[in-house]
Structure 1
Amino acid sequence: MGVQGLKTYIESSDKNYLRSWAFREKRLIIDGCNLYYLLYFDCNLDQMHGGDYDAFEELITQFFENLAACDISPYVVLDGGDDHTDKKFDTVMKRKQQKIKEAYNLSMGKRGRVLPTLIKNVLRQLLHKLKVPMVQCLEEADWEIAALAQEWDCPVLSNDSDFYIFNLRAGVLPISHFQWKKVGVDRRTNKKCIQAKHFTLGKFCASFQMNAELLPIFASILGNDYVKLQNIKYPDWEEYSVPGMENARIDGMLKWLSQFPGPKEAISALLKFTDDEEKVIVHKALLNGIKEYKLISGSLAQFFKSKVIPQSILTGPLQVLPKWTLRPLLQGRMSSSVIDVLVHQRVSLTPQVEDFQLPCSSEISRPIRQVIYGLLLLTANKQALAVKAVTGTSKRYVEEYGRQHITLSNQKVEAIQTKVMEELQLETLNKEPHDVRLQVFLDTLGVSSAMLRGIPDALQLQMFVTRYWLVNAQPQPCQVHLWGLLLGMVNGKLSGTLKTETDMQLRLKKLQTGRGRIYLEDEAAHLYSQWQSCLKWSLNLNRLLLDPLSEPECARLYRGTLVHQIVGELRRGITLESLLMRGSSAEQLFKQLKDAIVSLVGEDFIKKMKTGLEKRDAGKTQNPPIDDLSRCFDHLLDKDTDDTEDDLNGLKKENPDFLFTVRTRHKSKDRNADNPSKKYERRCFD
């Protein structure tokens, strides 16, 4: 993200562009997406097994506790939907393709960086729990973050180098230099503080004797998310730098620009390097680049203070959003996918670590998404009538961006309605009775009203999702997969209680630390990725319906490394009884979850499931343990993940059918990979 190479230049320079600051007793605007991205990766949390959400929750809790200890007032701002102008669409798609490759690399034991699919859900739930002020923008957050920081005259916490270009009086604190883990003491004041590095544009430009208004042009030339100038025959920037200097290209570009009094003169000089037929296009692009970084009053300050919906939203291009959705969207209590569906009629699916020879794990949740699309597009009567008048049909479609093998793909998915939805209208969905909204959810997940009885409210949503997963997952889960998932839920529930050390926890902790090696079994990885996809989109549907069911704490439902290790132990022949102390609260909770699932699918269904113990004698090759993989791939660790394509080309030469012939046991279901929704539609509304 941001301006290519600028962060490296600033951090590696000997000109002290980053000054030390004992930070305390101030407001701090936090780039929320940047925060969870960097904390998860920098703290080496699990990515291969679907994520360790409880460990991430502990990190975030510690982060905000340490801010509070230093009297720092945080305000978190999250990205929302894609920009209505689509100016970053190509960039977003390129990143999506890269993430698919990185997820594939991780599935093969190689290097990659992929966030677990529920990470944003965990963060939003925790921020509400901790009462940290938070806003989810309706579009990209960068500009709104900068505008708020300028209005409040406080710094921004982010590693996004775009903030080095915005002319912020209070500057930027790079997260990578924000030493939040250790609360220090300022020797001058004897008060608690967090040591940080501080960047200000004024000091940066002063070192070049440069007009700060030229920085947006610099960002456009260098390349950012907004402007791509590929048709200029640039001068040799290094000629303007000190010979032999590191990052001479950027340094030379800055020195070249500093000779001009303002943007107008710099643009005129740049156009001299452009062919005549391209001058108009390049000139417009440069002006747009300047506009992207121009700050005026934003809309977040008003919402943070009084929760009043900004007037600019009510009258702008996002007025297609029903008014009742705006507050929950801004509060982060509703998924930003609502915005993408209504504004762009598209959804981008999250890449996960899974079996890449099988259809994308997100396909199992497509029927759930289709109902969401139906609620948003088919129940908006004015829009539906307008579409029918133009196209002759009331059918609506959403473009879904997922994967086909390891390649980014897209396909149109039809919005659908359950029977009870036929009388609903999006504009008044918030006024519908609870029973009606609940019935939409139950119909979507194939659950009858009678199944509600006997299942505690706090367990209903996660159990209905698990039922949906059991019925629709391909390949079909074995008993060890179900028991592993339920034991993970037990662990999550008990980890916050005082009885933690007296029950299953001690045995599971010994299991986690005693063996040291966690296998990544492709089948388990794929199945649990399917379950997480079902949970994510069921949560989104539940929020759109204004929570007819209680929302569970996502961080307590799944710990990937533990669940995968439990599956491995069960496959080795370890019994459930050896993990569950007789009469303990862990055993009682497991029985409660098991009984709930049995009541939802029936005892015969459970009995007919494969146990999963057959794997012990089947001789199936598993991926080597992480310890061994790190040794096997040491020689590859310095390669960039873009080398994936080269690796695949080599594999295809050895085996031309590598990416196009699936394992024998999956041939029948992969045959319909290009039209996957047909596989699920027969079963989800039974």
Structure 2
Amino acid sequence: MHCVTMGVRGLKTYIESRNKNALRSLAFRDKKLLIDGCNLLYTMYFDYNLDEMHGGDYDAFEELITEFFKNLTACDIHPYVVFDGAADHTGKKWETIRQRKQDKINAALAVSEGKKEKVLPILIGNVFRQLLHKLKIPLVQCIEEADWEIAALAEEWNCPVLSNDSDFYIFNLKAGFLPITHFQWETVKQDRRTNKKFIQVKHFTVRKFCASFKMNTNLLPVFASILGNDYVKLQNIRCMNWAEHSVTDTPHPHIDGLLNWLSQFPGPEVAVSALLKTMSENDKAITIEALSKGIQEYKLFPGYLAKYFQLKMIPPITCKRLLQVLPQRTLMLILEGKMNSSIIDAVMNQRVLITSQVEDFQLPCSSEISRPIRQVIYGLLLLGEQRSTGTSKCYVEEYFRQQTKLSSQKVEGLQTMDGLQLKTLLEEPLSVRLQVLLDTLGVSSEMLRGIQPDLHLQIFVTRYWLVNAQPQPSQMHLWGLLLGMVYGKFSSTLKGQIDMLLGPKKLQTAGRRIDLEHETAHLYSQWQSCLKWSLSLNSLLCFPVSEPEIASLYSGTWLHQVVRELRRGRPLDSLLERGSSAERHFKQLKDVVESLVGENFIKRMRTGLGQRTVGNTHRDYNGHNQPIDELSSYFEHLMYEYDYEDDDDLNENLGKSKAKYHPDISCTIRTRHKSKARNANHPSKKYERSCFD
């Protein structure tokens, strides 16, 4: 299976600035279009300046992408979206991957300090794929890297590729390549003669590009292999001064020079022979191997995507370990984009790269809170295979930030008490699969009563976050999070705008720069990490609970502004209209969360006002002194009267749960029919989770 292409840094800029004849204007309509999903996501998020500092504005991204595909439909363009899967399993790119991971940590740190960088929110891929399913756009998540498969399908279907990846300047595609940078999708035009709508694009073909150098098109893969090889560092070739062959004034003279140098040869064999003449025998062997592999990666023949799109066939998979571990149902969920590609990394490589977030870099990595969830995932994935070999333990190497440096740690997979195996998971009753999810998130089956099914996952995750987050969330953080869920549910409808008085434009802080509150950022990064891995576990368990619409759960800029206003003393009744459906939904969410952790837990949470208090007062959002107790008056009218009393059992249970970060933790998840009897008089006595002990 081809999965490895290299790209050439600077080639896109070179072509756009120095070789404009290679890009010709085209009115594009009424054709299939293969879209590089990861590249489109990246380009759209950053080109439209969506939020990076506050954990992401998923609703704004969803609106943007919806409009994008609406305009494609208006022009009779038929999109097919292809995503990357796991990172390279051969190990040859590992050092490059590690360096990129460190670069992402550096970028997240820079954004947390108010600097300009590029950091994708942790759930953006989930939001994008979920939206594509909702819009009924055909998509596939490849098992490994997607570039070669995209190019192979484009050649087979004779349709262009939409991407900004420089690899597609190298693949010799009959129908060519459309750079996203020049894809004017926002302005749908109409042909005066035919009245048909189209999108103005710039179209690239290898044939036209090479013609400008009078160069054989087969030499372009040699060019890419010399300048873009991630596998064998061609030091001798790289040291050659290609710039001396440049004949134009360009910021990339090495690109121009190498293209001019190659153009003197009739084909790849003669060019490679010329390269080898000045090398030692040892260097020749390394160079020949590297170039031959690189050139091979750009040769196209039919791949597996056509059969997948047409027949939903699972492709032939070269990795035997993947076939041994993952059942057909799980493989299909991966291909459908309904499962995190980290699942493939965990199985193939026994390693997982944790996504970097904008958070408090003085605190431990925000992903530590979700490690026990991942441990259950690793156990389901790997322990069945381990038992067949006579071993009882499995480990996955997790790569994450420690302070500002990339670090790693072996994490043990956890076993469910009943020894559930992925291969036979579908044969298990729904109640058993549900109980694994509940046990992992610390929820008893009794707690399910009265909770709407469509609220299950978001509320379970919120409960898990409240109990396990460090530092402990304040009431402000919880109320802000629940208000965000209410806003997400109602803000997209006219009725919602009437019902809910607060919109982003009505906030005092809207429209001006806001410094990041690091504690708030860290806590919400922890919540997002919990949600991300709970979604993965839920899909691995074949969806015992329904998947929520992720974009409606978290709008980072809005949420941070709400918390800031609440902290400054803005009363809640200025955010929700009393008696409205928005207020009723907030009360429903509040009551459900309270039922899962207990009213005492909520009352014992810090208010979040301590750092701004002077005596018994703090400044409200108009700058006036206001008693702290008045800030909670609106919450109190939503709460039932409750006799406060200390709850030692809850304290003990919460204290135990904090121990779960220990890397050598060993525990067993109980399933429903093996659970012990609970004391029904108090929620906290109904459930004790042994893996948090």
Is TM > 0.5 for Structure 1 vs Structure 2? yes
**Closer, same or farther: CA 684–596 of 1 in aligned 2, 3 Å:** farther
* d(CA) in 2 for partners of 1:244, 1:409: 43
Quote the sequence identity (%).
67
Q: Give the counterpart of 1:30 among 7, 31, 35.
A: 35
Q: What do you get for the CA RMSD once the two structures are aligned?
A: 2.4
Pairwise CA distance, 1:83: 2.8
Distance 1:233 1:203, change over 3 A: closer
Following superposition, the deviation at residue 357 of structure 1 comes to 0.8
Separation (CA, whole Å) in 2 of partners of 1:243 and 1:268: 26
Task: Report what 1:77 is aligned to.
Answer: 82
Change (3 A) 1:34 1:243: closer
Structure 2 counterpart of 1:601, which letter?
V
Q: Which moved more, 1:268-277 or 1:286-295?
A: 268-277
Structure 2 distance, partners of 1:94, 1:255, is 32
- Alpha-carbon displacement from aligned partner over 1:527-552 (angstroms, at most 9, x marks no partner): 00000000000000000001000110
1:512 CA displacement: 6.6
Q: Hey, what does 2:339 align to over in structure 1? A: 334
What is the alpha-carbon distance in structure 2 between the residues aligned to residue 125 and residue 99 of structure 1? Answer: 24
Residue 530 of structure 1 is matched in structure 2 by: 526
What does 1:60-99 correspond to in 2, within 5 Å?
Answer: 60-99=65-104
Alpha carbons 1:81, 1:138 under 8 Å: kept:
yes
* Structure 1 runs not aligned, ≥5 long: 620-667
State yes or no: 1:446 paired with 2:439.
Answer: no
Structure 1 residues 180-219: Cα deviation after superposition (integer angstroms, max 9, x where no partner): 1111123454321111111000111111121111111111
**Alignment match, 2:116:** 111
Q: 2:432 is matched with which residue?
A: 436
What is the SS of the residue equivalent to 1:16? Answer: helix
Cα separation, partners in 2 of 1:101 and 1:526, compared to 1, 3 Å: same
Asked whether 1:323 is paired with 2:328, we answer: yes
* Paired AA for residue 259 in structure 1: Q
**CA deviation after TM superposition for structure 1 residue 471, in Å:** 0.4
Q: Which residue of 1 aligns with 2:587?
A: 591
Q: Which amino acid aligns with 2:59?
A: D
d(CA) in 2 for partners of 1:472 and 1:547?
24
Tell me how far apart the structure 2 counterparts of residues 220 and 196 of structure 1 sit (CA, whole Å).
28
Tell me: CA distance 1:368–1:248, structure 2 relative to 1, closer, same or farther (3 Å). Answer: same
Distance between the aligned counterparts of 1:50 and 1:457, measured in 2? Answer: 26
Identify the match of residue 566 of structure 1 among 562, 574, 578: 562
Give the conservation status (yes or no) of the 8 Å contact 2:476–2:566: yes
CA 1:13–1:232: 2 relative to 1, 3 Å: closer
How many angstroms apart in 1 are the aligned matches of 2:132 and 2:274?
49
Is residue 486 from structure 1 mapped to residue 489 from structure 2 by the alignment? no
Q: Per the alignment, in what secondary structure is the counterpart of residue 379 of structure 1?
A: helix
The Cα shift of 1:105 comes to: 0.2
C-alpha distance in 1 between matches for 2:454 and 2:238? 62
Q: In structure 2, what residue type is equivalent to 1:146?
A: A
Q: Is residue 210 of structure 2 the alignment partner of residue 212 of structure 1?
A: no
User: Secondary structure of the residue that 1:408 maps to in structure 2?
Assistant: strand
Q: Does 1:264 pair with 2:277?
A: no
TM-score (normalizing by structure 1): 0.88
| Aligned counterparts of 1:357 and 1:680: Cα–Cα separation in 2 | 29
Q: Which residue of 2 aligns with 1:178?
A: 183
Q: Per the alignment, do residues 675 and 435 of structure 1 end up closer, same or farther by CA in structure 2, a change over 3 Å counting?
A: closer
Q: Are the counterparts in 2 of residues 151 and 297 from structure 1 also a CA contact under 8 Å?
A: yes
Equivalent residues in 2 for 1:593-672, closer than 5 Å: 593-617=589-613
For 2:235, give the aligned amino acid. Q
1:71-114, CA deviations, whole angstroms, 9 ceiling, x for partnerless residues? 00000001111233233222221111101000000000011100
For residues 451-530 of structure 1, the aligned pairs below 5 Å read 451-506=447-502, 508-511=504-507, 514=510, 516-530=512-526
SS at match of 1:90: helix
Q: Tell me the secondary structure at the aligned position of residue 476 of structure 1.
A: coil
* Unmatched 5+ stretches in structure 2: 1-5, 616-654, 669-688
Note the 1:413-428 alignment, pairs <5 A. Answer: 413-420=411-418, 422=419, 424-428=420-424
The 1:412/1:315 distance shift into structure 2, 3 A limit, reads closer
Equivalent residue for 2:358, pick from 345, 353, 360: 353
Deviation readout 1:472-506 (Å, 9 max, x if unpaired): 00000000000010000000011233412212244
Task: Give the C-alpha shift of residue 11 in structure 1.
Answer: 0.4
Task: Point out the more displaced range, 92-101 or 531-540.
Answer: 92-101
- Does structure 2 conserve the Cα–Cα contact (< 8 Å) formed by 1:233 and 1:274? no
* Match in the other structure for 1:53: 58
Q: Does the aligned pair in 1 maintain the 2:369–2:661 contact within 8 Å?
A: no
Q: How big is the shift at 1:241? A: 2.1
CA distance in 1, matches of 2:87, 2:228: 20
In the alignment, which of 151, 165, 182 is matched to residue 160 of structure 1?
165
Alignment partners' CA distance in 2, 1:444 and 1:540: 12
Q: Cα gap change, 1:672/1:428 in structure 2, threshold over 3 Å: closer, same or farther?
A: closer
Q: Is the 8 A contact 2:501 2:575 kept in 1?
A: no
CA distance in 2, matches of 1:315, 1:354: 36
SS of the counterpart of 2:33?
A: strand
2-structure distance, mates of 1:80, 1:23: 29
| 3-state secondary structure, aligned to 1:76 | strand
Query: Which of residues 396, 399, 422 is equivalent to 2:397?
Result: 399
Aligned-residue offset at 1:507: 5.0
Aligned-partner residue type, residue 392 of structure 2: S
Shift of 1:673: 12
User: What is the match of residue 388 of structure 2?
Assistant: 385
